[in-house]
Amino acid sequence: MADYYYRQVNTVRFGPGALTPVVRNLLIANGAVFAVQVVFFYSLGGHNLGPHYQDPVSVWFGLNPAHGVFRGKVWQLGTYMFLHAVNSPLHILFNMFYLWMFGVSVEQRMGSRAFAWMYFVSGLGAGVLTCLFWPFWNATTIGASGAVFGVLLAYGLLFPNRMILLFFIIPVKAIFMSLGLIAIEVMYMITSVNDGVAHITHVSGAGFAYLFLRYQNRILDAAPSAPIVNPVEAVRRVKEKAEQMSEAEEQRRVDEILDKINKQGIHTLSRNERAFLKRRARRRDRD
């Protein structure tokens, strides 16, 4: 797929542009987890044990209602969305492609905080509804598809008239693309329950994204400030905290030197103390 924009002259552009913080972090996280899965899969000989073999990572962190969530492994509701099928690389490739293609624009429009919350609300909500859908009680569900379908719906609702080149050929409005894909999933959910694909997860992910967009302000007012850590932002905060700590330490040293001057006279200052005061004065002048 590719974005197709109508301007003064019709132009075609592939991709949404530079990565946004949350999309970048999600791509890195999914890629890293997939690498761990691959290592476990091949190191334990999973490639020789048949198509139904599950690596330990998927067993512990994939979404399995009967043998996992219902037995106290509630973390699976969140971890399943970072796992993908090792024996089918297209699973992660397509999910990450759609996340990149549509998530960047959605994050730019919504803001990183709102986008991150929508993504995880979609994924977690999809996990909960999958657990309530009895045909999947004994199955293991993995993949970011629930959350990604939430992103697809958000893209269609936020950019309804943006044109998408479907299969790089057919121009279609984003809203029709989003609703069409969801309608197909609903059809499969009803008619193909045992095809090995968790269509209920896809549909419910889109449903929770819709609910989030509808009640976004209320959710964000009640939500913590950052559901996903941006490494760049985290480094900036650490630096600010370090600067604040050094400022406090610096002021303490200034006070000690001033006390020494008052009690013993300025002539008693060492060379290091004089240099420290000069540096402090120059920095104050620049500020």
**Tokens matching residue 233:** 């932002």
Q: What local confidence, expressed as pLDDT, does residue 247 receive?
A: 67
**% of the chain beyond a pLDDT of 90:** 40
Given a cut of 70, is residue 15 above it in pLDDT?
Answer: no
Confidence of residue 236 (pLDDT cuts 50, 70, 90): low
Whether residue 66 contacts residue 137, with contact meaning beta carbons closer than 8 Å, is answered with yes
What SS3 class is residue 285? helix
Residue from 19, 143, 24 nearest 81 by CA:
143
Would the CA dihedral through 127, 131, 133, 137 be positive or negative?
A: positive
Amino acid at the residue 45: G
Q: What local confidence, expressed as pLDDT, does residue 230 receive?
A: 52
Sheet holding 2-5, edge to edge: 11-13, 2-5, 163-166, 170-173
Taking phi first (over 0 means left), then psi (-120 to 50 degrees means alpha), and beta for anything else, what does residue 78 get? alpha
What SS3 class is residue 165? strand
Given a cut of 50, is residue 8 above it in pLDDT?
Answer: no
Confidence of residue 88 (pLDDT cuts 50, 70, 90): confident
Q: At what angle do helices 145-158 and 112-132 cross, to 10 degrees?
A: 130
**% of the chain beyond a pLDDT of 70:** 79
Instruction: Say how far apart CA 272 and CA 246 lie, in whole Å.
Output: 17
Confidence of residue 276 (pLDDT cuts 50, 70, 90): confident
Instruction: Say how far apart CA 13 and CA 4 lie, in whole Å.
Output: 6
For 25, half-sphere exposure in the C-beta direction (CA atoms, 13 angstrom radius) is 16
* Of 48-57, 154-163, 178-187, minimum mean pLDDT range: 48-57
**Tokens matching residue 122:** 């979609």
Instruction: Say how far apart CA 141 and CA 135 lie, in whole Å.
Output: 12
* Of 157-161, 177-181, 247-251, minimum mean pLDDT range: 247-251
User: What domains are defined for the chain?
Assistant: 2-228 (1.20.1540.10), 233-286 (no CATH)
Partners of 165 in the beta sheet?
Answer: 2, 171
Instruction: Say how far apart CA 207 and CA 209 lie, in whole Å.
Output: 5
Given a cut of 70, is residue 266 above it in pLDDT?
Answer: yes
Residues with Cβ < 8 Å from 71, sequence gap 6 or more?
none
Please write the tens of the pLDDT for every residue from 199-232.
889 999 999 999 999 998 888 888 776 545 455 5
**Tokens matching residue 163:** 């044109």
